Structure 1
Amino acid sequence: MKTTTRLMLLAVLALPVLAACNKDDATPTAKVEKAAVPKPANQTDEDAWNAYIQDQVVRNAQGASSTFAYTLPVPGAEGFDESFQRQAEKAKEDVSRGGVEGTLMAFGSADSAKTADLIASAFQGVGVDTMKGVRVLFIGDAADRDRAEAAVKPSGAKFEFIEAK
Protein backbone atom coordinates (compact mmCIF):
# COMPACT_ATOMS: atom_id res chain seq x y z
CA MET A 1 0.00 0.00 0.00
CA LYS A 2 2.84 2.38 0.85
CA THR A 3 4.41 1.75 -2.55
CA THR A 4 1.18 2.54 -4.37
CA THR A 5 0.74 5.75 -2.39
CA ARG A 6 4.32 6.80 -3.12
CA LEU A 7 3.93 6.09 -6.82
CA MET A 8 0.71 8.13 -6.93
CA LEU A 9 2.42 11.02 -5.16
CA LEU A 10 5.36 10.87 -7.57
CA ALA A 11 2.99 10.85 -10.54
CA VAL A 12 1.13 13.90 -9.24
CA LEU A 13 4.36 15.78 -8.59
CA ALA A 14 5.78 14.86 -12.00
CA LEU A 15 2.76 16.05 -14.03
CA PRO A 16 3.71 19.76 -14.02
CA VAL A 17 7.25 18.91 -15.10
CA LEU A 18 6.01 16.71 -17.93
CA ALA A 19 3.50 19.32 -19.01
CA ALA A 20 6.25 21.95 -19.18
CA CYS A 21 8.37 19.67 -21.34
CA ASN A 22 5.60 19.26 -23.88
CA LYS A 23 5.08 22.97 -24.49
CA ASP A 24 5.61 24.15 -28.04
CA ASP A 25 8.62 26.47 -27.98
CA ALA A 26 7.22 28.40 -30.94
CA THR A 27 4.23 29.56 -28.88
CA PRO A 28 4.71 33.17 -27.77
CA THR A 29 4.55 33.67 -24.02
CA ALA A 30 3.64 37.36 -24.10
CA LYS A 31 0.10 38.23 -23.06
CA VAL A 32 -2.17 39.77 -25.64
CA GLU A 33 -3.65 42.91 -24.12
CA LYS A 34 -7.37 43.28 -24.48
CA ALA A 35 -8.58 46.47 -26.16
CA ALA A 36 -9.80 49.15 -23.77
CA VAL A 37 -13.54 49.56 -23.33
CA PRO A 38 -14.41 53.00 -24.76
CA LYS A 39 -16.17 55.65 -22.71
CA PRO A 40 -19.90 55.34 -23.39
CA ALA A 41 -21.35 58.08 -25.56
CA ASN A 42 -24.74 57.71 -23.88
CA GLN A 43 -24.97 58.99 -20.28
CA THR A 44 -27.95 56.71 -19.61
CA ASP A 45 -26.48 53.35 -20.69
CA GLU A 46 -25.76 51.87 -17.26
CA ASP A 47 -24.40 48.55 -18.56
CA ALA A 48 -21.92 50.34 -20.82
CA TRP A 49 -20.80 52.59 -17.96
CA ASN A 50 -20.35 49.64 -15.62
CA ALA A 51 -18.24 47.84 -18.25
CA TYR A 52 -16.15 50.99 -18.81
CA ILE A 53 -15.53 51.61 -15.09
CA GLN A 54 -14.73 47.93 -14.48
CA ASP A 55 -12.24 47.93 -17.37
CA GLN A 56 -10.50 51.04 -16.02
CA VAL A 57 -10.28 49.57 -12.52
CA VAL A 58 -8.82 46.29 -13.81
CA ARG A 59 -6.27 48.16 -15.95
CA ASN A 60 -5.12 50.17 -12.94
CA ALA A 61 -5.23 47.53 -10.22
CA GLN A 62 -1.61 46.41 -10.64
CA GLY A 63 0.05 45.96 -7.28
CA ALA A 64 -3.22 46.10 -5.35
CA SER A 65 -3.72 43.40 -2.76
CA SER A 66 -7.42 44.27 -2.48
CA THR A 67 -9.76 46.46 -4.49
CA PHE A 68 -12.93 48.28 -3.46
CA ALA A 69 -15.04 49.86 -6.20
CA TYR A 70 -17.66 52.53 -5.54
CA THR A 71 -19.99 53.29 -8.42
CA LEU A 72 -23.30 55.06 -8.88
CA PRO A 73 -26.23 54.41 -11.18
CA VAL A 74 -26.55 56.60 -14.25
CA PRO A 75 -27.95 60.10 -13.64
CA GLY A 76 -31.73 60.15 -13.37
CA ALA A 77 -32.01 56.42 -12.64
CA GLU A 78 -34.74 55.37 -10.27
CA GLY A 79 -33.34 55.17 -6.74
CA PHE A 80 -30.27 57.25 -7.58
CA ASP A 81 -30.35 59.25 -4.32
CA GLU A 82 -30.76 56.12 -2.18
CA SER A 83 -27.93 54.39 -4.04
CA PHE A 84 -25.71 57.45 -3.59
CA GLN A 85 -26.45 57.47 0.14
CA ARG A 86 -25.68 53.75 0.51
CA GLN A 87 -22.40 54.08 -1.38
CA ALA A 88 -21.44 57.17 0.61
CA GLU A 89 -22.08 55.38 3.91
CA LYS A 90 -20.15 52.29 2.77
CA ALA A 91 -17.18 54.33 1.53
CA LYS A 92 -17.12 56.46 4.70
CA GLU A 93 -17.19 53.33 6.85
CA ASP A 94 -14.34 51.80 4.85
CA VAL A 95 -12.27 54.99 5.11
CA SER A 96 -12.97 55.37 8.85
CA ARG A 97 -11.38 51.96 9.52
CA GLY A 98 -8.09 53.29 8.18
CA GLY A 99 -6.09 52.03 5.28
CA VAL A 100 -4.33 48.77 4.68
CA GLU A 101 -1.26 49.07 2.51
CA GLY A 102 -1.86 47.79 -1.00
CA THR A 103 -5.57 48.60 -1.06
CA LEU A 104 -7.08 50.27 -4.13
CA MET A 105 -10.26 52.30 -3.66
CA ALA A 106 -11.75 53.06 -7.08
CA PHE A 107 -14.51 55.63 -7.65
CA GLY A 108 -16.29 56.17 -10.95
CA SER A 109 -19.67 56.64 -12.62
CA ALA A 110 -21.41 58.41 -15.48
CA ASP A 111 -21.89 61.43 -13.18
CA SER A 112 -18.39 62.70 -12.43
CA ALA A 113 -19.55 65.54 -10.16
CA LYS A 114 -21.58 63.15 -7.98
CA THR A 115 -18.63 60.76 -7.88
CA ALA A 116 -16.46 63.62 -6.61
CA ASP A 117 -19.18 64.32 -4.02
CA LEU A 118 -18.99 60.66 -3.02
CA ILE A 119 -15.23 60.90 -2.51
CA ALA A 120 -15.56 64.16 -0.55
CA SER A 121 -18.22 62.60 1.67
CA ALA A 122 -16.16 59.46 2.28
CA PHE A 123 -13.02 61.35 3.24
CA GLN A 124 -14.69 64.13 5.24
CA GLY A 125 -13.08 64.33 8.67
CA VAL A 126 -10.60 61.53 7.99
CA GLY A 127 -7.56 61.44 10.24
CA VAL A 128 -4.24 62.73 8.94
CA ASP A 129 -2.14 60.01 7.28
CA THR A 130 -4.57 57.23 8.26
CA MET A 131 -4.64 55.90 4.70
CA LYS A 132 -0.92 55.71 3.89
CA GLY A 133 -0.20 52.93 1.42
CA VAL A 134 -3.73 53.11 -0.03
CA ARG A 135 -4.37 54.22 -3.62
CA VAL A 136 -7.53 56.17 -4.45
CA LEU A 137 -8.46 56.02 -8.12
CA PHE A 138 -10.94 58.59 -9.44
CA ILE A 139 -12.34 58.00 -12.92
CA GLY A 140 -14.08 61.18 -13.97
CA ASP A 141 -13.90 64.61 -15.57
CA ALA A 142 -10.90 66.91 -15.21
CA ALA A 143 -13.21 69.61 -13.81
CA ASP A 144 -13.85 67.47 -10.71
CA ARG A 145 -10.29 66.29 -10.15
CA ASP A 146 -9.02 69.03 -7.81
CA ARG A 147 -12.02 68.78 -5.49
CA ALA A 148 -11.67 65.00 -5.18
CA GLU A 149 -7.92 65.20 -4.71
CA ALA A 150 -8.26 67.86 -2.00
CA ALA A 151 -10.66 65.60 -0.08
CA VAL A 152 -8.25 62.64 -0.21
CA LYS A 153 -4.99 64.51 0.49
CA PRO A 154 -5.17 64.74 4.32
CA SER A 155 -5.58 60.97 4.57
CA GLY A 156 -2.11 60.32 3.11
CA ALA A 157 -3.56 58.05 0.41
CA LYS A 158 -2.04 58.27 -3.06
CA PHE A 159 -4.56 59.97 -5.36
CA GLU A 160 -4.68 58.78 -8.97
CA PHE A 161 -6.87 60.29 -11.67
CA ILE A 162 -8.07 58.89 -14.98
CA GLU A 163 -9.95 61.26 -17.19
CA ALA A 164 -13.06 59.57 -18.54
CA LYS A 165 -12.60 59.97 -22.27
Structure 2
Amino acid sequence: MKTTTRLLLIACLSMPLLAACNKQEEKTAAVAEAPLAAPTTNDSAAWDTYLTKVVTQKIEGATNVYLYTLPDPAGADFQGEYDRQLEKAQGDVARGGVEGTLLAFGSQNSAKSADLAIASFAQAQPGTMKGVRVMFIGAQADADRVKAAVEPSGAKFEFVEAK
Protein backbone atom coordinates (compact mmCIF):
# COMPACT_ATOMS: atom_id res chain seq x y z
CA MET A 1 0.00 0.00 0.00
CA LYS A 2 2.82 2.44 0.84
CA THR A 3 4.46 1.81 -2.52
CA THR A 4 1.23 2.44 -4.39
CA THR A 5 0.63 5.65 -2.45
CA ARG A 6 4.16 6.86 -3.14
CA LEU A 7 3.85 6.12 -6.86
CA LEU A 8 0.54 8.00 -7.02
CA LEU A 9 2.08 10.94 -5.16
CA ILE A 10 5.08 11.03 -7.52
CA ALA A 11 2.76 10.83 -10.52
CA CYS A 12 0.63 13.70 -9.21
CA LEU A 13 3.66 15.86 -8.51
CA SER A 14 5.15 15.11 -11.95
CA MET A 15 2.06 16.11 -13.94
CA PRO A 16 2.64 19.90 -13.72
CA LEU A 17 6.26 19.42 -14.76
CA LEU A 18 5.26 17.38 -17.79
CA ALA A 19 2.65 19.94 -18.76
CA ALA A 20 5.22 22.74 -18.47
CA CYS A 21 7.67 20.80 -20.65
CA ASN A 22 5.02 20.29 -23.34
CA LYS A 23 4.18 24.00 -23.32
CA GLN A 24 7.86 24.89 -23.61
CA GLU A 25 8.26 22.52 -26.58
CA GLU A 26 5.25 24.13 -28.27
CA LYS A 27 6.74 27.61 -27.72
CA THR A 28 10.12 26.49 -29.05
CA ALA A 29 8.51 25.01 -32.18
CA ALA A 30 6.53 28.21 -32.75
CA VAL A 31 9.66 30.35 -32.40
CA ALA A 32 11.64 28.08 -34.73
CA GLU A 33 9.03 28.51 -37.46
CA ALA A 34 8.55 32.25 -36.95
CA PRO A 35 9.35 34.20 -40.11
CA LEU A 36 12.72 35.91 -40.02
CA ALA A 37 13.39 39.42 -41.23
CA ALA A 38 16.56 40.03 -43.23
CA PRO A 39 18.80 42.80 -41.90
CA THR A 40 18.30 46.15 -43.59
CA THR A 41 21.98 47.08 -43.38
CA ASN A 42 25.15 45.58 -44.84
CA ASP A 43 26.40 44.53 -41.40
CA SER A 44 28.11 41.21 -42.07
CA ALA A 45 27.64 39.93 -38.52
CA ALA A 46 23.89 40.60 -38.66
CA TRP A 47 23.67 38.85 -42.03
CA ASP A 48 25.65 35.85 -40.79
CA THR A 49 23.25 35.54 -37.85
CA TYR A 50 20.21 35.84 -40.12
CA LEU A 51 21.53 33.30 -42.63
CA THR A 52 22.42 30.85 -39.86
CA LYS A 53 18.88 31.11 -38.47
CA VAL A 54 17.35 30.55 -41.91
CA VAL A 55 19.47 27.45 -42.47
CA THR A 56 18.68 26.19 -38.96
CA GLN A 57 14.94 26.47 -39.67
CA LYS A 58 15.32 24.52 -42.92
CA ILE A 59 17.89 21.96 -41.75
CA GLU A 60 15.47 19.00 -41.69
CA GLY A 61 17.22 15.79 -42.64
CA ALA A 62 20.63 17.36 -43.25
CA THR A 63 23.59 15.60 -41.70
CA ASN A 64 26.31 17.86 -43.14
CA VAL A 65 25.73 21.59 -43.54
CA TYR A 66 27.95 24.07 -45.36
CA LEU A 67 27.04 27.77 -45.36
CA TYR A 68 28.85 30.03 -47.81
CA THR A 69 28.49 33.71 -46.96
CA LEU A 70 30.11 36.87 -48.22
CA PRO A 71 30.94 40.15 -46.48
CA ASP A 72 29.76 43.59 -47.55
CA PRO A 73 30.92 44.07 -51.18
CA ALA A 74 32.09 47.59 -50.27
CA GLY A 75 34.44 46.14 -47.63
CA ALA A 76 38.21 46.25 -47.87
CA ASP A 77 38.82 42.54 -48.52
CA PHE A 78 35.67 41.55 -50.36
CA GLN A 79 37.47 40.04 -53.36
CA GLY A 80 39.84 38.05 -51.16
CA GLU A 81 36.94 36.65 -49.11
CA TYR A 82 34.97 35.90 -52.28
CA ASP A 83 37.94 34.02 -53.73
CA ARG A 84 38.42 31.98 -50.52
CA GLN A 85 34.72 31.06 -50.34
CA LEU A 86 34.71 30.15 -54.03
CA GLU A 87 37.74 27.91 -53.63
CA LYS A 88 36.13 26.13 -50.67
CA ALA A 89 32.74 25.75 -52.40
CA GLN A 90 34.32 24.50 -55.63
CA GLY A 91 36.31 21.93 -53.66
CA ASP A 92 33.19 20.76 -51.83
CA VAL A 93 31.23 20.44 -55.09
CA ALA A 94 34.14 18.77 -56.92
CA ARG A 95 34.26 15.98 -54.31
CA GLY A 96 30.70 15.07 -55.23
CA GLY A 97 27.68 14.82 -53.07
CA VAL A 98 27.08 12.85 -49.94
CA GLU A 99 23.42 12.17 -49.29
CA GLY A 100 22.10 14.38 -46.52
CA THR A 101 24.41 17.29 -47.28
CA LEU A 102 23.05 20.84 -47.39
CA LEU A 103 25.00 23.55 -49.20
CA ALA A 104 23.59 27.02 -48.48
CA PHE A 105 24.58 30.26 -50.22
CA GLY A 106 23.57 33.74 -49.08
CA SER A 107 24.71 37.24 -48.19
CA GLN A 108 23.55 40.82 -48.13
CA ASN A 109 24.25 41.03 -51.87
CA SER A 110 22.05 38.47 -53.59
CA ALA A 111 23.69 38.88 -57.01
CA LYS A 112 27.18 38.21 -55.61
CA SER A 113 25.91 35.15 -53.71
CA ALA A 114 24.30 33.90 -56.91
CA ASP A 115 27.58 34.42 -58.76
CA LEU A 116 29.37 32.43 -56.05
CA ALA A 117 26.90 29.54 -56.26
CA ILE A 118 26.97 29.49 -60.07
CA ALA A 119 30.77 29.53 -60.19
CA SER A 120 30.88 26.76 -57.57
CA PHE A 121 28.81 24.47 -59.80
CA ALA A 122 30.45 25.45 -63.10
CA GLN A 123 32.63 22.32 -63.17
CA ALA A 124 30.18 19.93 -61.45
CA GLN A 125 29.67 16.70 -63.34
CA PRO A 126 26.09 15.69 -64.16
CA GLY A 127 24.46 13.59 -61.47
CA THR A 128 27.34 13.82 -58.97
CA MET A 129 25.32 15.67 -56.33
CA LYS A 130 22.31 13.35 -55.97
CA GLY A 131 20.97 13.41 -52.43
CA VAL A 132 22.41 16.88 -51.81
CA ARG A 133 20.26 19.95 -51.17
CA VAL A 134 21.44 23.35 -52.37
CA MET A 135 19.75 26.31 -50.73
CA PHE A 136 19.98 29.80 -52.15
CA ILE A 137 18.96 32.60 -49.79
CA GLY A 138 18.51 35.80 -51.75
CA ALA A 139 16.34 37.56 -54.31
CA GLN A 140 13.90 35.81 -56.65
CA ALA A 141 15.60 37.45 -59.63
CA ASP A 142 18.83 35.56 -58.85
CA ALA A 143 17.22 32.25 -57.87
CA ASP A 144 16.53 31.14 -61.45
CA ARG A 145 20.19 31.65 -62.42
CA VAL A 146 21.36 29.55 -59.49
CA LYS A 147 18.76 26.85 -60.12
CA ALA A 148 19.89 26.52 -63.75
CA ALA A 149 23.51 26.05 -62.61
CA VAL A 150 22.71 23.57 -59.83
CA GLU A 151 20.14 21.23 -61.38
CA PRO A 152 22.43 19.43 -63.89
CA SER A 153 24.48 18.17 -60.93
CA GLY A 154 21.46 16.26 -59.62
CA ALA A 155 21.22 18.30 -56.42
CA LYS A 156 17.82 19.40 -55.17
CA PHE A 157 17.53 23.19 -55.41
CA GLU A 158 15.72 25.17 -52.69
CA PHE A 159 15.08 28.89 -52.67
CA VAL A 160 14.46 31.06 -49.62
CA GLU A 161 13.67 34.68 -50.30
CA ALA A 162 15.67 37.05 -48.11
CA LYS A 163 13.07 39.53 -46.96
**TM tier, shorter chain?**
0.7 to 0.9
In the superposition, relative to structure 1, how do residues 131 and 22 fare at CA in structure 2: closer, same or farther (>3 Å)?
same
Q: CA deviation at 1:25?
A: 3.4
- 1:73 maps to a residue whose letter is P
Query: Counterpart of 1:40?
Result: 39
**Aligned partner (choices 18, 39, 43) of residue 25 of structure 1:** 18
Q: CA deviation at 1:37?
A: 3.8
Take 2:150 and 2:156, find their aligned partners in 1: how far apart are those partners? 8
Query: Counterpart of 2:77?
Result: 79
Deviations 1:30-81 (A, max 9, x none): 3323244421111x21221111111101011111011000000012111000
Query: Counterpart of 2:89?
Result: 91
Query: Counterpart of 2:3?
Result: none
**Structure 1 ranges of 4+ moved more than 4 A:** none
Sequence identity (%): 48
User: RMSD over aligned Cα, in angstroms?
Assistant: 1.7
**Aligned partner (choices 140, 144, 163) of residue 161 of structure 2:** 163
Query: For structure 1, which runs of at least 5 residues remain unmatched after alignment?
Result: 1-17
Number of residue pairs the alignment of both structures matches: 145
Take 1:36 and 1:52, find their aligned partners in 2: how far apart are those partners? 11
- TM-score, structure 2 as length reference: 0.83
Query: For structure 2, which runs of at least 5 residues remain unmatched after alignment?
Result: 1-9
> Whose helix fraction is larger, Structure 1's or Structure 2's?
2
Conserved in 2, the CA contact under 8 Å of 1:112 and 1:144? yes
Q: CA deviation at 1:26?
A: 2.7
Question: Secondary structure at the residue paired with 1:27?
Answer: helix
Question: Secondary structure at the residue paired with 1:78?
Answer: coil
Q: CA deviation at 1:138?
A: 0.3
